[in-house]
């Protein structure tokens, strides 16, 4: 979950914000299909991969990606979730919050190619926290990053291996990813302050 | 010589009062007196100087908490012209020597009369009688005897003390607390103590002793005074004893007229006192009893403690509250504002009756020509938050800090000499 | 806002569920090769123990260390406290050290409450006199929830010295908050006189409540009660209020047996009961660390505490409803 997309429970009704839908459901479907194929290509048929979603929407996206990869390869893909709350560098800037779930597949992460999945890549701080969290769970052979939207404004030397959509934004704007499982519909919405 | 202009005696019509040679020389309208200092008492109520039957002055022994000098100045600031100094000093006031020392310190300080209370038992240990007769015959002329802080729990010893003091018209003032029922007790036993996990001080521990002592006093025909009555049950027992014509008198403290045990929820030991703060129902019964005379008087149980004795956990903290400087305000709040007592009633409960119980002939007299000029001028119209920083007492352990209370003592006269003027101790 | 965990009553239902849910997530860390989280790095937690309790101290210490806090253990024995230093002076010392959180165990009821008025950090009550022990109640609730699921409507029977039990007080409050139905069982001498005002049932007959209990929690009988006429003999107590094999058999199949420890085997609980699979006694100890991690994280992990309550300042209580407080409550500091 990117810091810029909380709380992403649908477009806010604020009248001083205008909403622009930048990805519709079919766009998201195509982007995920493409990412699934890219992962298979880059990892030579998905050998040894583990998909770890970052709660909340990263977990949903990881599940969808796993489904697509399994369709192509005919084998289930190990997947899980990786909560990074306790590793965040902005913990002390807000009240302590509820934890997400960390759940590894039985295969674990040692010597696997871990693909971290998040909805929006922004400052890169969430991914940094995820790399730290992963470090305490084991020693993957490699770690890759998949994100539905890369909106730029990186504050750390981090880049995504798989990007659904590069979306140029200004820092004032907010990117909200809506997914049917959590939000009732699929869309990526850009909130622009008036 | 002071000429008080326009004071409302016991809350009545404005009158002038001329104080000369230590007595009330004239009372009337439009008085003049050459050379007299005029005291403007417009809007002020004149009451006889208040008499406290229950004051801890702490000297000798705990001069860090209070001295006779500071305690009697605080008394004067509260409108008092006489206090009874409790015996639980170090050394205990259980000999003629100690009571004379306290009495002399009071005379030297000159802020109000100090009448030492003699211990009933040696060292307050509840085992052997102290030399009650020697204290009665001393310069201090002790008439009130009490082991206050401790209960004379031994029934035989209590009986003997009650009998013995008849020889000099003394009275035993009992701290009614059954010791076994109150071992390690921290606060009133009830809903709050159960919730807070503080050991309970049950009402029955007070009531059982009062019952026994009333029966003993009746049996031997003696005077009994009950200190700091705190429960509705105690009130019932005293009412019953009085209905029998027995010589039982009783006092209630200001804090028991106003504060409940719920204050212990703060765990701030400023609310820790013995007997403990009780419930709203007890307060109601105590107020009613004071109003109907079942309880004879208000006594402060002024109990100064240094800050470190209260800045602790609840259990190890010292018990007690200071009260001399807030007593009249609390009584106005609890009794006058509620319509339970008028100012004549206040004078009766805070001056007349305590003086009578302590056998003080020069105190608690009506403000009339020829009476000793012991009186206080009180402004009932102001209402302010209690600020302990302004207290005269050496100690600050008041439970009323920050509480908005009515009234202010403007002047106090001890045998014609002002001890307080314009609200400031002289 | 300054918040503490001093009484189980400080916790709303949402607070309590947040702690239990957080503990649930944190419990997974116990199975990992690296059991440490960086969350409280740079935060200082002081364990201030005025009463011997190695178990509770170690539990809090492990919890704080797993969250990477700096832990300072301050026990009364051999410290300036045993030389007569007051709690207030100790509090000022902690302030000088910059304690973010203070875990306090004290034999005087209300000591954590007092401490909270003297320090800037959050205070966690690790047991005060005969008042409360909220983290014990939380770990008990957590243990029950793991075994039985949602506590709403569950019947919990707590047996023993209710009068002097901080565990019972905290459990009654917390379980009530969580929707469980609590029944207290003891000889009448070991109830506070006002127990009828508590949000629970009261019973003298243990056997009558056994069959409908989902949880039976046995409390330790302290040695000093055995000689103070609270009950005639240990044997009689044990017979009337002890949990033995016969009573265990009267429980429903799913019912569990709890004990906050340390146990008096053969007094309130028979050895075979303590060691039975129904017993959660060992789990309770393990769960203690997890629950205390959750509490420390939620109090100290963010910019401000996410759970807990503030202490009642002295000036905020109205004396009896007749008089109103005037002025600033902070004035009280001069008293």
Name every residue in C having a CB less than 8 A away from some CB of A: 18, 21-22, 25-26, 28, 32-34, 36-39, 67, 297-306
In degrees, to the nearest 5, what angle opens at C-alpha C99 toward C-alphas B265 and C115?
Answer: 15
As given in the structure block, the two tokens for residue A166 are: 């590069």
- What was the pLDDT predicted at A109? 95
Percent of chain B with pLDDT over 70: 100
Cβ–Cβ of C331/B401 closer than 8 Å?
A: yes
Taking CA atoms, what residue in C is nearest to B315?
C108
The burial class, CB within 10 Å (0-12 / 13-18 / 19+), for B168 is: middle
- Per the residue annotation, which of C43, C106, C133, C164 is the catalytic one? C133
Kind plus residue range of the DSSP H or E element containing A142: strand A142-150
Chains that touch A (3 or more CB pairs under 8 A): C
Taking CA atoms, what residue in B is nearest to C133?
B197
H runs (alpha helix) in B38-154: 68-77, 96-109, 132-137
Q: What is the residue range of A60's domain?
A: 25-173
- What was the pLDDT predicted at C335? 27
Compare CB distances from C304 to A86, A95, A136 and report the shortest one's residue. Answer: A95
As given in the structure block, the two tokens for residue B367 are: 């403000």
pLDDT in tens, C44-59: 999 999 988 889 999 9
- Per the residue annotation, which of B301, B342, B348, B387 is the catalytic one? B301
SS3 B293: coil
Residue C314: pLDDT band with limits 50, 70, 90: low
Spatial separation of the C-alpha atoms in residues B177 and B161, rounded to whole Å: 17
ipTM: 0.90
Whether residue A120 has pLDDT greater than 60: yes
- What was the pLDDT predicted at C223? 79
Spatial separation of the C-alpha atoms in residues A21 and A40, rounded to whole Å: 29
- What was the pLDDT predicted at C83? 56
Long-range CB contact pairs, A12-16, < 8 A, 24+: A12/A191, A16/A193, A16/A194
Number of domains into which chain A is organized:
1
Cβ–Cβ of C87/B313 closer than 8 Å?
A: yes
In degrees, to the nearest 5, what angle opens at C-alpha C114 toward C-alphas C109 and C117?
Answer: 155
Domains and CATH numbers, chain C: 8-132+285-312 (3.40.50.1370), 134-281 (3.40.50.1370)
The residue-averaged pLDDT of C100-105 equals 96
In degrees, to the nearest 5, what angle opens at C-alpha C260 toward C-alphas C256 and C266?
Answer: 80
Calculate the average pLDDT of chain C: 89
Q: Looking at B150-154, C31-35, C160-164, which range is the least confident one?
A: C31-35
As given in the structure block, the two tokens for residue A192 are: 């622009």
Contact C132, C170 (CB under 8 A): yes
Q: Which residue has the tokens 């100094």?
A: B85
Spatial separation of the C-alpha atoms in residues C198 and B188, rounded to whole Å: 17
Spatial separation of the C-alpha atoms in residues C173 and C269, rounded to whole Å: 24
Taking CA atoms, what residue in B is nearest to C106?
B313
Q: How many CB atoms lie within 10 A of CB C253?
A: 5
The closest alpha carbon to C120, from C40, C18, C42, C46, belongs to C46
Contact B105, B114 (CB under 8 A): yes
Percent of chain C with pLDDT over 70: 90
Alpha carbons within 13 angstroms on the beta-carbon side of residue C76 total: 17
Whether residue A6 has pLDDT greater than 90: no
User: Strand B113-116 and strand B80-85: pairing?
Assistant: parallel
DSSP 8-state assignment for residue B376: E
Compare CB distances from A92 to C18, C37, C302 and report the shortest one's residue. Answer: C302
Q: How many CB atoms lie within 10 A of CB B249?
A: 20
pLDDT in tens, A63-95: 999 999 999 988 899 999 999 999 999 999 988
Contact C168, C158 (CB under 8 A): yes
Report the Cα C280 to chain-centroid distance in Å: 17
Q: Looking at B102-111, B379-388, C78-87, which range is the least confident one?
A: C78-87
Q: Best residue in C21, C38, C122, C305 to probe A by mutation, most A CBs within 10 Å?
A: C38
The burial class, CB within 10 Å (0-12 / 13-18 / 19+), for C277 is: exposed
User: Strand B2-9 and strand B14-20: pairing?
Assistant: antiparallel
Calculate the average pLDDT of chain A: 91
Spatial separation of the C-alpha atoms in residues C335 and C328, rounded to whole Å: 13
pLDDT in tens, C40-95: 999 999 999 998 888 999 999 999 999 999 999 988 765 555 556 789 998 998 88
Strands (E), B147-193: 171-174, 187-188
Q: How many CB atoms lie within 10 A of CB B361?
A: 9
pLDDT in tens, B20-61: 999 999 999 999 999 999 999 999 999 999 999 999 999 999
Q: Which residue has the tokens 């008293």?
A: C335
Spatial separation of the C-alpha atoms in residues C335 and B305, rounded to whole Å: 11
Cβ–Cβ of B197/C132 closer than 8 Å?
A: yes
CATH class, range B49-357 = alpha beta
Q: Best residue in C318, C319, C321, C334 to probe B by mutation, most B CBs within 10 Å?
A: C319
Residue A189 lies in a domain: no
CA distance C101 to chain B (A): 19
The burial class, CB within 10 Å (0-12 / 13-18 / 19+), for A194 is: exposed
pLDDT in tens, B251-274: 999 999 999 999 999 999 999 999
Whether residue C320 has pLDDT greater than 70: no
pTM of the full predicted structure?
A: 0.91
Taking CA atoms, what residue in A is nearest to C18?
A98
Residues of A in contact with C33 (CB under 8 A): 137-138
The burial class, CB within 10 Å (0-12 / 13-18 / 19+), for B236 is: middle
Spatial separation of the C-alpha atoms in residues C282 and A169, rounded to whole Å: 55
As given in the structure block, the two tokens for residue C245 are: 């094999």
The closest alpha carbon to C182, from C137, C147, C246, C236, belongs to C137
Q: Going edge to edge, which strands form the sheet with C215-218?
A: C201-203, C181-185, C155-159, C215-218, C256-258
The burial class, CB within 10 Å (0-12 / 13-18 / 19+), for C66 is: buried
Q: Best residue in B181, B267, B326 to probe C by mutation, most C CBs within 10 Å?
A: B267
Residues of C in contact with B314 (CB under 8 A): 108-110, 114
Q: Which residue has the tokens 């069959």?
A: C211
Calculate the average pLDDT of chain B: 97
Q: How many CB atoms lie within 10 A of CB B358?
A: 25
Alpha carbons within 13 angstroms on the beta-carbon side of residue C329 total: 11
For the domain spanning B2-45+372-382+404-425, the CATH number is 2.30.40.10
The residue ranges of every structural domain in chain B are 2-45+372-382+404-425, 49-357
Alpha carbons within 13 angstroms on the beta-carbon side of residue B111 total: 24
Residues of C in contact with B402 (CB under 8 A): 315, 325-329, 331-332
b/e map A79-94, b = 16+ CB within 10 Å: bbbbbbbbbbeebbee
Q: How many CB atoms lie within 10 A of CB B175?
A: 25
Kind plus residue range of the DSSP H or E element containing C176: helix C166-177
- What was the pLDDT predicted at C75? 80
Residue A189, CA distances (Å) to A147, A176, A177, C297 in order = 15, 5, 6, 33
Return the sign of the alpha-carbon dihedral for residues B277, B278, B281, B283: negative
CATH number for the domain harbouring residue A131: 3.40.50.2020
The residue-averaged pLDDT of C22-44 equals 91
Is there a catalytic annotation at residue C4?
no
pLDDT in tens, A122-165: 999 999 999 999 999 999 999 999 999 999 999 999 999 999 99
């Amino acid at each position: 979950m990117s810091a810029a997309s909380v709380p992403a429970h649908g477009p806010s009704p604020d009248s001083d914000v205008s909403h622009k839908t930048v990805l519709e459901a079919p766009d998201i479907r195509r982007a995920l299909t493409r990412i699934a194929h890219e992962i298979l290509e880059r990892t030579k048929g998905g050998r040894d991969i583990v998909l770890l979603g970052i709660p909340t929407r990263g977990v949903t996206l990881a599940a969808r990606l796993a489904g697509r990869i399994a369709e192509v390869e005919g084998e289930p893909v190990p997947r899980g979730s990786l909560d990074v709350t306790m590793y965040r560098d902005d913990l002390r800037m807000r009240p302590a919050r509820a934890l997400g779930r960390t759940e590894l597949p039985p295969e674990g992460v040692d010597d696997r190619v871990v693909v971290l999945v998040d909805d929006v890549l922004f400052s890169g701080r969430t991914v940094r926290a995820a790399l730290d969290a992963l470090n305490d769970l084991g020693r993957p052979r490699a770690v890759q990053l998949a994100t539905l939207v890369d909106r730029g404004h990186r504050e750390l030397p981090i880049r995504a291996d798989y990007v659904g959509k590069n979306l140029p934004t200004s820092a004032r704007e907010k990117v909200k990813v809506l997914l049917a499982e959590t939000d009732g519909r699929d869309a990526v919405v850009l909130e622009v302050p008036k | 010589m002071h000429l008080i202009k326009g004071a409302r005696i016991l809350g009545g019509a404005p009158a002038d009062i001329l104080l000369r040679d230590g007595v009330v020389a004239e009372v009337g309208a439009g008085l003049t007196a050459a050379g007299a200092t005029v005291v403007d008492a417009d809007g002020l109520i004149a009451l006889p100087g208040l008499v406290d039957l229950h004051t801890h002055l702490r000297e000798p022994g705990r001069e860090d908490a209070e001295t006779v000098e500071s305690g009697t100045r605080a008394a004067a600031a509260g409108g008092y012209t006489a206090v009874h100094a409790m015996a639980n000093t170090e050394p205990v006031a259980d000999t003629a020597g100690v009571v004379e020392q306290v009495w002399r310190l009071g005379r030297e300080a000159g802020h109000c009369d100090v009448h030492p209370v003699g211990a009933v038992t040696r060292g307050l240990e509840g085992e052997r009688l102290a030399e009650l007769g020697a204290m009665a015959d001393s310069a201090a002329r002790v008439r009130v005897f009490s082991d206050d802080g401790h209960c004379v729990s031994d029934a035989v010893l209590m009986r003997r003390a009650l009998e013995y003091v008849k020889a000099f018209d003394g009275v035993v003032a009992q701290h009614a607390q059954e010791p076994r029922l109150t071992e390690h007790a921290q606060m009133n036993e009830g809903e709050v103590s159960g919730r807070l996990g503080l050991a309970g001080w049950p009402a029955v521990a007070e009531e059982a002793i009062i019952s026994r002592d009333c029966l003993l006093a009746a049996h031997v025909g003696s005077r009994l005074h009950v200190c700091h009555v705190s429960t509705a049950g105690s009130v019932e027992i005293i009412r019953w004893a009085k209905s029998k014509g027995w010589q039982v008198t009783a006092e209630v403290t200001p804090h028991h007229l106003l504060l409940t045990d719920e204050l212990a929820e703060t765990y701030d030991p400023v609310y820790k006192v013995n007997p403990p703060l009780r419930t709203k129902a007890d307060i109601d019964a105590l107020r009613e009893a004071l109003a109907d005379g079942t309880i004879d008087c208000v006594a402060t149980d002024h109990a100064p403690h240094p800050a470190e004795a209260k800045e602790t956990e609840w259990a190890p903290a010292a018990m007690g509250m200071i009260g001399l400087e807030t007593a009249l305000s609390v009584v106005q709040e609890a009794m006058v504002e509620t319509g339970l007592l008028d100012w004549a009633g206040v004078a009766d409960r805070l001056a007349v009756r305590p003086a009578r119980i302590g056998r003080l002939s020069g105190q608690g007299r009506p403000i009339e020509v020829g009476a000793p000029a012991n009186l206080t001028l009180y402004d009932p119209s102001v209402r302010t938050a209690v600020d302990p920083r302004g207290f005269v007492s050496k100690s600050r352990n008041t439970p009323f800090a920050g509480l908005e209370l009515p009234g202010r003592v403007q002047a106090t006269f001890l045998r014609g000499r002002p001890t307080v003027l314009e609200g400031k101790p002289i | 806002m300054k918040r503490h965990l001093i009484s189980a009553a400080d916790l709303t239902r949402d607070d309590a569920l947040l702690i239990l849910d957080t503990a649930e997530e944190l419990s997974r860390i116990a199975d990992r090769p690296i059991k440490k989280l960086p969350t409280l790095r740079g935060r200082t937690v002081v364990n201030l123990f005025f009463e011997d309790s190695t178990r509770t101290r170690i539990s809090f210490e492990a919890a704080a260390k797993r969250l990477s806090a700096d832990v300072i253990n301050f026990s009364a024995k051999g410290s300036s406290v045993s030389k007569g230093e007051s709690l207030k002076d100790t509090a000022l010392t902690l302030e000088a050290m910059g304690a973010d959180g203070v875990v306090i165990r004290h034999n005087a009821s209300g000591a954590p409450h007092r401490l909270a008025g003297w320090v800037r950090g959050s205070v966690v009550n690790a047991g005060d006199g005969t008042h409360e022990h909220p983290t014990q109640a939380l770990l008990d609730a957590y243990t029950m929830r793991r075994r039985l699921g949602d506590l709403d409507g569950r019947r919990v029977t707590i047996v023993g010295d209710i009068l002097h039990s901080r565990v019972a007080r905290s459990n009654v409050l917390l379980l009530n908050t969580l929707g469980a139905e609590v029944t207290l069982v003891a000889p009448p001498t070991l109830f506070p006189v006002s127990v009828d005002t508590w949000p629970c049932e009261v019973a003298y007959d243990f056997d009558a409540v056994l069959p409908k209990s989902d949880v039976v929690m046995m409390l330790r009988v302290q040695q000093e009660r055995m000689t103070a006429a609270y009950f005639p003999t240990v044997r009689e107590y044990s017979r009337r209020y002890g949990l033995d094999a016969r009573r265990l058999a009267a429980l429903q199949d799913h019912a569990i047996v709890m004990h906050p420890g340390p146990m008096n085997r053969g007094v309130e609980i028979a050895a075979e009961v303590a060691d039975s699979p129904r017993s959660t006694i060992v789990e309770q100890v393990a769960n203690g660390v997890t629950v205390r991690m959750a509490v420390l994280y939620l109090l100290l992990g963010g910019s401000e505490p996410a759970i807990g309550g503030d202490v009642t300042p002295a000036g905020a209580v109205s004396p009896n409803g007749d008089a109103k407080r005037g002025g600033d409550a902070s004035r009280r500091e001069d008293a």
